Structure formats: C-alpha cells, structure tokens
Amino acid sequence: MTSFSHQKYQDGQTQKPALTGHILSEIFPETAADAAAIGYLLWRLPRNDAPVLWVQDRLSHRETGRPCLAGLQMDRPIIMVNLSRAADVLWALEDGLRCRALAAVIGEIWGDPVALDFTATKRLMMRVEAANVPCWLIRRAASPNLSAARDRWRIASAPSASNPHDTQAPGAPRWSLDLFRSRQSKPGQWTMTYDRKTDRIDNITPFRDRAVGTDDGTARQRAVG
Amino acid sequence: MERQGNAPSDDILLVLAREGQHGPVVHAANRTARTTGITQGSRVVDMKAICPELHVEYADEAGDRAALDRLVLWARRWCPWTTRDGEDGLILDTTGSAHLFGGEAAMLIEIQTQLSLLGLTSRLAMASTWGAAWALARFGPARTICAADETALGLRALPVAGLRLDDATLLLLQRLGLKTIGAVMDVPRLSLTRRFVKAGLSSNPLMRLDQALGKLAEPVASVEAKPRFSVQSRLADPIFDPTPHLPDLCERLCEVLQNAGMGCRRLHLTVYRTDGDVSRVDVATSVSTRDPNHMHSLFRDKVERINPGFGFDLIDLTAGRVEPMQALQTHLDGKTSDDLDLALLVDRLTARFGARAVSRPVLRESHVPERAEGRIAALANPTQTAPVMTRERPIRLLDHPEEVRVLYAVPEGPPVQFVWRRQTHRVTRYAGPERIAPEWWRDKPGTRLRDYFKIEDQTGRRLWLYREGLHADGRGGEPRWFVHGMFA
C-alpha cells in the first residue's frame, strides 16, 4: 500500500513517495475553478511513459475546461473520454482499471450524483487493488459523503511563493493540502510549494510540537471523514 | 470505353472535363461532340470557343477506375484470367476458353452484347499478344480476330499510335515520317536500337513492337478478387434476439479469418427478417482483430439496436476492412504486450460511447491557445512533431473563454478588481502581458489581438486572463476581459 506521510522528512522537503501499491484517492477542490488539485495529482503520477485515461463528465468539462496539453508538459499520451453522465464515467473508469498498461486513471465527476455511492467507490477500489493502477476521482461541488476511497484530500491554491525575477509576478505555485481521511497514514494539513523545473514539492508548513496524545498509543488511530 | 448509363441524349454536345495544367481539359466527349471536331486533351475554353453550346461536366476519374476494377472481376465470366489495362481497357486471357462460347468470333459478339446490356460501348479485338490486341481494338476494324502468325500483317496498316508510346515519342516518330507501324517495322532494327537505346519502355518503339509481335514477353498478371469473410446462421424458426447465436458466429468467423491469416477492423451483423426487411449493426475496432471474445464483447450493448420486426431467421456476420494480420509474439516468455490490451480498452470505450467521445489530444503549431491543441483517434500517432513551448501555459483551458466584469480598471496591466462567476477577485500579483496576435491567414479581418496576463487573486487562485483588443484600435468598442484558463 502507498504509505505516504509528509511528516517523515526532517529537512522540510518531501520526496516522491515510493509507490508500492496503488490506491483509489478522492480530491475535493475548494472551489470548482481551482486547478491546484490537478497540479498535485499530476505530481503524484508514476514516472513512466504509459498513457493516462482521463474521463470527464459534461459539467466538469463545461465548468472547468479540459486539461491543457501545453501546460501539462508531459510526454505520455492522454486518452481523453468526454461523457455526459456520471454513471458512464464510472463505467469507463472501471473498464480502464482492467487495463494494466495505463499509468493512471483519472475521473472528474461534478456534484453528488446518485450513481456515485458507497458501492460504486467500493467497486472502483477493488478494481484498483486488483489491477494495481492508481485511480483519482476529482469531485467538484461535491460533499464528502460516505466513500471507500483510501485517501481523501481537500486541496486549494495558496498565495504563491515570491518570484525571484519579478516581485509583482506570482512565483512557484503553493497548494494547501488537507488529507482529511486516510486508511494508511495519519491525516494532516500541509502547505506545499511546487517546483516545476525539478518536479518536486517542498513542505513549508512550520513545524511545531504536537499536542500530547491522550491515548496509550496501542490502538491504531483512524481518521474520521 | 465510355459510360453511357444515364447519359443525356446523343444530340447534345457533351464533354467530360478534368483539371489540366492550364485549366480544365477535355477528358472524354460523346459522339456528337467528336464529330463536331472536339478532340480529347484539348482545353475546354478553346472548345467552348468552337461550339458555344458545349455542355461540360466534370469527370469522376476515381469512380471510373473503381468501376473498371469491378468490371475486371465481372469479366471473369468468360475466362479466369483478367486484368485492367490503363484507364480505359480490360485484358482477358481467353486461352482455352473461347470454345465454350462457340468460337472466338461468337465469343466477341457475346462479350459485346453483355457489355452493351450494362450500358457500355466497347471496342474488341482478339490477338496473340497484349500489344497487338491493344492496337487492333483501338485502331483496327470492329471485332478483329488476328491469328498468331498474322500479327505482323494485321498491325502493319495501323497508325504508329497503336504502339502504346508516350506523346513525345509519337511526335518524334511523326517528325521522322514514320506514320504506320509497318513503316517502323521496315526501318532497320540496328538503327532503331541505336536511336532508342536509352529510352524506357513507354518511349521505345522497338521494345513496344517486340511486345506486340510476341518477341518480348508481356504476361497478364491477373488480380485476385478479395475474399469475403462471412458466416451465417440459419434458424428453423424466427427469433427476436440474436444474442445466443453471437458467440458461435464470432468463433466461426474468427476461425475463417485465422485460416486465411487475416484480421478485421469492422464487423457487420445483419439479420434477415421474415417480413423481407434487413436490419444491421456495425462495430469497429482500433486494431485488426480475430479474437472471438473481444468481438462478442463489442456487440454486447449494440444488439439492442437491431429492430427484429416480426422475427428473423437468418443471421449474417461479415468482416469488413480485412487486412493481413500476423500472430505476434512480442515477448520471449510468450506473454502478450500491453499495447494490445490498451487497444481492447479503446475499442470497448468506443463501442459504448461512440468514436467522438474517445480521443487523444495532440499539440499543433499555433500560438492561439484554442488552436494549439487538436484531437486525433485515441491510438493514432501524431503526424506533426510537437512544437516547443517556451511560455508558461495554464494547466486547464476553458473551451469558451468567459467574460468578466471589470470593477476597477487601470490603464496598464490587468484590472485591479473584477467579477467572474458572481465572485469578486482582487488581483494581488500578475505577470504579463503576453501578446498573441490573430493569425491573419485564418482569422477574419477585424479579429482583435489578445493580451494575456497570469494573475493571482487574494485567495491564491491563479487565472489566465486576457484583454481582447486595445483601447481605440478601431476594431470595436472598449476592450473586453476574459478568463481563459487556470494555472495550478
């Protein structure tokens, strides 16, 4: 399983986690027109040339546009599937997860459709773990209701780093990440700076001592979501 | 040979035109036009000057060629060895088959009758070589039959154009005073050889003459009809649902394809209904296949589209777009490659959602953002090399830029405050402008240029904002502002 914890790194820099097993993750962008989630997701993709299956429903496409190839700057091909209903998106995602040649399967679903219930996410999760292909669900304008996703993120843009060449211009993008539910690791909140040239993200959250735990440390801690 | 299918009546002066080097030229003319003095290959404007009432239609050359190719196969009714000869002829190797039609003369009459029933005018000749038959059919008397030992005699009186030479050589021979094939024959062989030693086949009268006289071999290479891969299932009683019969049909079709070493890209499932109607569904695959399970899965959601009427009693499964397919072993250990798996996925998605829903975005050479990206088929390879992008581009791009309402504008740079999607954004930092001018070779005159800014608002969202036009650029009113994309 992907064990991914940002606190481990003492120097404040986060390396790409070693991917041992892939999981189903959900991202809830703070606002619909916030592309920070896409940036973070692309950083998490496995480093290879395998194609990505990217499925969008109609509302996601209309409200937030399409992935812009010139801005993504990746060499891998994208197989883009534009569908109208959320049920079709889920069908396409499930079908894509039968194919091990893909680097990742990305789905964008708008709102809280009836088709996307706990059973649907459970099916997706089982497929992901059978095929070992990461699956990301981007859910805009949605409420984080019951779901079987292993990791659930809330991601928003933060004011960017200062630009070394121009004080007036935005610099390296910063994202505030909120892992509010996770099966494997401890939930937490971080603010990260993404360096595009070296393709790595740096944790800029100030470190401080944690509050003293009230439990005896034996029981495994679970997040509530 | 001329097509006379639905031709207008013979008293109209009609020519077919094709594009020549300096405007349209006459491709073919009907009998009335020919008698008026209209010649093939002359320019249409010249001919219109001669007869102003000339009726000009454009020739369908590709259609004619395809029709002739079909006619090649149709002509197999007389002999098994047929091929197309240039743009307007057929060659039939009738060796050993003339007696079936009562001799050579009777066979020629039979061929001419059958062709005229199709609405085709034909000129026929029978000779021992391809070249002799070609010359006699075009320049000899109708339905000439020339025995092997009379070939030289039969050709002697024909014009030198009967030697299948190109125009430059014909002109040269005409200037040399050689008007008939007989005159060419009479020239000493040595001098002809010396004169045309370097010429190719189509401009070498000696080699053409040898071909016509049978001294140089010119075999007839017959074309093979494409085999039709199709399996049927005949039923005792009419049924309404073909699903139970599909696995068996797919397996039988794949077996036929396997034996021929072929794979198919299309599948047509046709049901023949008891009320005399047919209904059919088609599916397509992205790479050629002969995998019965895959074929069956493609039909899974499509079978409902068949209208069974009062039931059907014959199901036909035909393979279309058949191409040779080798069984590939891509790995030493015998495992299949991942690409194949991907092709199956794309097929499944395309079969369910349609070909338009599944695509692959590729970069195009354009600075206008909406034209910098094109869509190709999901498994196709991009034809152009991707242009190198030097400027930063957003990670998401809106299909239609959305106009914003500017609350507080400043003369330089982006607005300080604007409203987009009912939310007020205050610009804290910006980079730009990057000016993208319209492409004059594609855009309408009056298209305004765009100044793009990457802005960051008070909450940290980074947007791609542009101003369309300049103040007082004479192309419309005040410039307007649009959001076109989002940065990560």
Task: Say if residue B194 is in the same domain as residue B241.
Answer: no
Residue-level pLDDT at A24: 94
Q: Is residue A168 part of a domain?
A: no
CB B286 within 8 A of CB B236: no
| CATH code for position B8 | 3.40.1170.60
CB A137 within 8 A of CB A26: yes
ipTM above 0.90, yes or no: no
Q: How many residues comprise chain A? A: 225
Residue-level pLDDT at A64: 93
Amino acid A18 reads: A
Q: Is the pTM of this model over 0.90?
A: no
Residue-level pLDDT at A18: 42
| CATH code for position A40 | 3.40.50.300
Distance CA A210, CA A192 (A): 19
Amino acid A1 reads: M
Task: Say if residue B338 is in the same domain as residue B247.
Answer: yes
% of chain B exceeding 70 in pLDDT = 96
Q: Is B449 a residue whose pLDDT tops 50?
A: yes
Distance CA B198, CA B204 (A): 8
Distance CA B43, CA B19 (A): 10
Distance CA B421, CA B419 (A): 7
Residue-level pLDDT at A19: 47
Q: Is A11 a residue whose pLDDT tops 60?
A: no
Can you tell me the mean pLDDT for B447-458? 93
pLDDT (tens digit per residue) in B252-303: 999 999 888 888 888 999 999 888 888 888 888 877 888 888 888 888 878 8
Distance CA B365, CA B388 (A): 9
Residue-level pLDDT at B290: 85
Minimal C-alpha gap between A43 and chain B (Å): 11
Q: Which residues of B touch A102 (CB under 8 A)?
A: 342, 345
Q: Is A66 a residue whose pLDDT tops 90?
A: yes
Which of A89, A151, A101, A99 is closest to A125 using CA atoms? A151
CB A132 within 8 A of CB A7: no
The residue out of B213, B240, B261 marking a domain boundary is B213
% of chain B exceeding 90 in pLDDT = 35
Judge whether B268 is closer than 8 Å to chain A, CB to CB.
no
CB B418 within 8 A of CB B481: yes
Can you tell me the mean pLDDT for B382-398? 83
Q: Is residue B372 part of a domain?
A: no
Residue-level pLDDT at B121: 87
Residue among A31, A65, A69 minimizing CB distance to B363: A69
Distance CA A170, CA A158 (A): 11
Task: Say if residue B238 is in the same domain as residue B328.
Answer: yes
The token duo for A175 is 């994202």
pLDDT (tens digit per residue) in B323-339: 887 766 666 665 555 55
Q: Is residue A191 part of a domain?
A: no
The token duo for A223 is 């997040």
Q: Is residue B383 part of a domain?
A: no
Residue B282 three-state SS: strand
Q: Is residue B264 part of a domain?
A: yes
Residue-level pLDDT at B336: 54
State which residues form the domain around A153: 20-160
- Count: domains in chain B: 4
Q: Is A225 a residue whose pLDDT tops 60?
A: no
Q: Is A219 a residue whose pLDDT tops 90?
A: no
Q: Is residue B68 part of a domain?
A: no
Task: Say if residue B208 is in the same domain as residue B158.
Answer: yes
Task: Say if residue B203 is in the same domain as residue B274.
Answer: no
CB B297 within 8 A of CB B279: no
Q: Is residue B113 part of a domain?
A: no
Which of A39, A50, A214 is closest to A138 using CA atoms? A39
Peptide bond connecting A51 to the previous residue in cis, omega within 30 degrees of 0: no
Q: Pick the range with the lowest mean pLDDT from A96-105, B214-223, B379-388.
A: B379-388
The residue out of B59, B80, B101 marking a domain boundary is B59
Q: Is residue B467 part of a domain?
A: yes
The residue out of B179, B213, B247 marking a domain boundary is B213
Task: Say if residue B340 is in the same domain as residue B241.
Answer: yes
Number of H helices, E strands in chain A: 5, 11
Q: Is residue A10 part of a domain?
A: no
The token duo for A118 is 């706990």
Can you tell me the mean pLDDT for A161-185? 92
Distance, CA of B36 to chain centre: 37
The token duo for B224 is 């093979």
Residue among B349, B353, B393 minimizing CB distance to A68: B393
Higher pLDDT, A164 or B225: A164
What integer best gives the mean pLDDT of chain B? 87
Judge whether B339 is closer than 8 Å to chain A, CB to CB.
yes
pLDDT (tens digit per residue) in B23-79: 899 988 888 888 888 888 889 998 888 888 888 888 888 999 999 988 888 888 888
Q: Is residue A109 part of a domain?
A: yes
State which residues form the domain around B433: 396-486
Q: Pick the range with the lowest mean pLDDT from A19-23, B14-18, B219-223, B401-405.
A: A19-23
CB B399 within 8 A of CB B373: no
Place of tokens 């030493």: B332
Taking an 8 Å cut-off on Cβ atoms, the answer to whether B486 and A51 are in contact is: no
DSSP string, B403-437: EEEEEE--SSSS-SEEEETTEEEEEEEEEEEEEE-
Task: Say if residue B279 is in the same domain as residue B324.
Answer: yes
Distance CA A48, CA A46 (A): 6
Distance CA A88, CA B59 (A): 48
Contacts (Cβ under 8 Å, ≥6 apart) of B39: B26, B29
Residue-level pLDDT at B333: 64
Q: Is residue B118 part of a domain?
A: no
Task: Say if residue B193 is in the same domain as residue B240.
Answer: no
Distance, CA of B332 to chain centre: 39
Which of A5, A16, A14, A12 is closest to A207 using CA atoms? A12
pLDDT (tens digit per residue) in B229-243: 999 999 899 998 888
Judge whether B237 is closer than 8 Å to chain A, CB to CB.
no
Query: What is the gyration radius of the CA atoms in chain B, in angstroms?
Result: 34
Q: What is the DSSP letter of A60?
A: H
Task: Say if residue B238 is in the same domain as residue B336.
Answer: yes
Taking an 8 Å cut-off on Cβ atoms, the answer to whether A65 and B372 are in contact is: no
Q: What are phi and psi of B98, to 5 degrees?
A: -65, -35
CB B15 within 8 A of CB B26: yes
Residue-level pLDDT at A6: 45
Q: Is A3 a residue whose pLDDT tops 80?
A: no
Number of H helices, E strands in chain B: 13, 21
pLDDT (tens digit per residue) in B144-202: 898 888 888 889 999 999 999 998 999 999 999 999 999 999 999 999 889 888 888 88
Q: Pick the range with the lowest mean pLDDT from B199-208, B335-344, B401-410, B417-426.
A: B335-344
Distance, CA of A134 to chain centre: 10
- Count: domains in chain A: 1
> Given phi > 0 = left and psi -120 to 50 = alpha, else beta, which region is B469?
left
- For residue B282, the cross-strand partners are B268
| CATH code for position B336 | 3.30.1490.100
Can you tell me the mean pLDDT for B446-458? 92
Residue-level pLDDT at A13: 45
Q: Is A213 a residue whose pLDDT tops 80?
A: no
Task: Say if residue B208 is in the same domain as residue B235.
Answer: no
Distance CA B100, CA B78 (A): 9
Q: Is A5 a residue whose pLDDT tops 50?
A: no
Residue B305's pLDDT band, with cuts at 50, 70 and 90, is confident
Distance CA B94, CA B107 (A): 10
Taking an 8 Å cut-off on Cβ atoms, the answer to whether A71 and B397 are in contact is: yes
With CA atoms as reference, the chain B residue closest to A165 would be B431
Taking an 8 Å cut-off on Cβ atoms, the answer to whether B460 and A156 are in contact is: yes
Q: Which residues of B touch A31 (CB under 8 A)?
A: 461
Task: Say if residue B416 is in the same domain as residue B480.
Answer: yes
Q: Is A36 a residue whose pLDDT tops 60?
A: yes
Can you tell me the mean pLDDT for A127-155? 92
